A and B are shown apart, each in its own frame.
Chain A
């Protein structure tokens, strides 16, 4: 059955691995809580604070979850075990802290701290419980993503004639430097959503380079940039498959927000979930790359679904009044 005929197969059982997906769920924005659902049984456990929780991110060993939650009018980063126990987290220097991402070795968490135009990258050492500002004194940095354990790629806001633009920056504990050559003579580009290749050999990101928003891949060694999604409709939010051979992304090329994937070597785009009735977004691959969880509003409220990428069968994972958002599939756990 084609994945384009989403919900008619809602009752079909899928041969998905018995694994877990973290997500946020609530009745409204104020009471969103990080939860973990067992993909096989549908059992849901609340593991977050339940106060505007968001952005759940699994540690690389699959044992802990970092997420954001409201505190004193701002947002802070919290860390819990997969069952919600052992809550911990930084004593923040800033009121607003967003977009937490774990380093590949699981020892540190990078996030965006502060408010525009002074936001910057902060790295939290899980063992010492210390925060450190990265990227020197450069302000306007956000959306960090780790490349190795000692460098993050971030989005930097820069002045341009007539306003501002954004560029990709390499950020270390000491400095922040532009990743790409200065292209200001050719135009003003706005990059967003950097996502490093699982091997660290390159980076997927989105940019309006060329006019409309597209998914690009930057290969670090060769310093070349490739437009891999090329379509006049907007393409957003790239996500690498675990083996690094495909990039899932969101696109409006079928009329509404849908999920597509591309083989970045052959530049072959295929639909994963797309129709003209509802929106499908926030894809997250299973660790073996055989399934994908995502959000769809096809039935009204945003709910979680899972699709078998080989057969195309789709199953609805959640069904309650209120939004279920931001799924993150648990990595293979360390033994």
Chain B
């Protein structure tokens, strides 16, 4: 059955070759997309960000379902927001979000996931620093990531967090390869940028916002960018979004941040928002290409827990368990096929 689902999703990806722009860049639909998807229960709403108003529908396995939409116009930059209602009868699974705008069709595959149940205890996968397009490992980065995605599909976690440096140097070809690899994943994939991804502006063109939040059942997740961390207090335009996003997930059981790096010189304002005034319960990141070491790795402001996962260039990843006890890191593992 899992193979069948994977096949369907792969087929959807292939059938929607016109999705995104020719380079893999986003078109009419900015979010949700396959790096910033939504997970929603039947009958619940979700927000989509678009460049213009459009006729919207969800599609899966060849069937299309039109969406009722409430529009908000005039967002900064001329964007519009669509509050979409998912039908109470919608079947669980992965959906593409399709838009018809003034004769143009846009398709974001793996953008919307419908779930009936959000268990109190669940697992998610943490993958980071995949450096797709690099020659850092004797085997091709694409082969290794394929093996990792296969292992994730086998384990069926609730979703995957991929915390930056997803490409070697932010080239569009690397992002295009990454999109193809991610679309073999049968669970939602949430991405945030790393310093390597932001050597150009392609990250925003492929995935849209660099900071966003989502809820999974009782818990809230917050993605943010830490590339320009040292001068962030002077110039960062992300901090207002962080304050608002942190407030958006204030009333949750566990608040969990995911970013590319944590460092004490990452910008004081970001630290005040996320670790001082309303501390996250846990933060996940990569960047350092190693796992946590006792004593020297900690968020010094208070009680925020920390999980650092080694780079995925050799297939390293781990599963995290979230339960009423908290957020617990599983051991770093490497799928056998990556060795």
Contacts and interface: CB of A to CB of B under 8 A. Distances in A.
Contact of B235 (A117, A142, A163, A326): A326
Given A68-B234, A98-B231, A252 B76 contact: no
Interface in B221-255: 228, 230-231, 234-235, 237, 240, 243-244, 247
A75 B277 contact: no
Contacts of B135: none
A3 interface: no
B61 interface: no
A58 interface: no
A71 to B, nearest CB: 13
Given A164-B300, A277-B74, A190 B230 contact: no
B79 to A, nearest CB: 9
Nearest to A159: B300
A259 B255 CA distance: 28
Interface string B266-286: 001100110011000000000
Nearest to A140: B264
> B interface, by DSSP: helix, strand, loop or mixed?
helix
Interface string B75-89: 111100000000000
A107 B247 CA distance: 44
A300 interface: yes
A182 to B, nearest CB: 19
A215 to B, nearest CB: 14
Interface string A87-102: 0000000001011000
Contacts of B230: 75, 96, 98
Nearest to B201: A28
B277 A234 contact: yes
A281 B240 contact: yes
Contact of B237 (A68, A234, A297): A297
Contacts of B301: 163-164, 190
Contacts of B75: 277
> A interface, by DSSP: helix, strand, loop or mixed?
loop
A95 to B, nearest CB: 11
A252 B244 contact: yes
B111 to A, nearest CB: 24
B265 A115 contact: yes
A144 interface: no
Given A164-B300, A257-B243, A277-B75, A190 B234 contact: no
A163 B301 CA distance: 5
B235 A54 contact: yes
A298 interface: yes
A332 to B, nearest CB: 25
Given A54-B235, A164-B300, A116 B265 contact: yes
B330 interface: no
B303 interface: yes
B265 A55 contact: no
B77 A300 contact: yes
A13 B31 CA distance: 38
B18 interface: no
Interface string A162-192: 1110000000000000000000000010101
A162 B77 CA distance: 43
A27 to B, nearest CB: 9
Interface in A214-247: 234, 236
B331 interface: no
A163 to B, nearest CB: 5
A326 B244 contact: no
Interface residues of A, number: 45
A129 to B, nearest CB: 24
A119 to B, nearest CB: 8
Nearest to A234: B243
A96 B264 CA distance: 14
A297 B277 contact: no
A98 B231 CA distance: 8
Interface in B291-311: 299-303
A325 B235 contact: yes
A287 interface: no
Contacts of A96: 230, 265
Contact of A252 (B234, B243, B264): B243
Interface in A245-262: 252, 256-257
Interface string A76-113: 00000000000000000000101100000000000000
B76 A212 contact: no
Nearest to A297: B76
Contact of A277 (B76, B201, B228, B231): B76
B263 to A, nearest CB: 8
Interface string B172-214: 0000000000000000000000000000010000000000000
A323 B240 contact: no
Given A24-B235, A299-B76, A323-B237, A29 B300 contact: no
A279 B228 contact: no
Interface string A17-53: 0000000100011001000000000000000000010
Nearest to A7: B74
Contact of B303 (A68, A162, A298): A162
A41 B247 CA distance: 41
A64 interface: no
A151 interface: no
A163 B300 contact: yes
A190 B272 contact: yes
A213 interface: yes
A299 B76 CA distance: 5
B272 A75 contact: no
A98 B302 CA distance: 26
11 contacts: A55-B234, A115-B265, A164-B300, A190-B301, A208-B272, A208-B276, A277-B75, A277-B76, A297-B76, A298-B76, A325-B234
> Which 4 residue pairs across A and B have the least CB separation, nearest first?
A300-B77, A257-B240, A116-B264, A54-B234
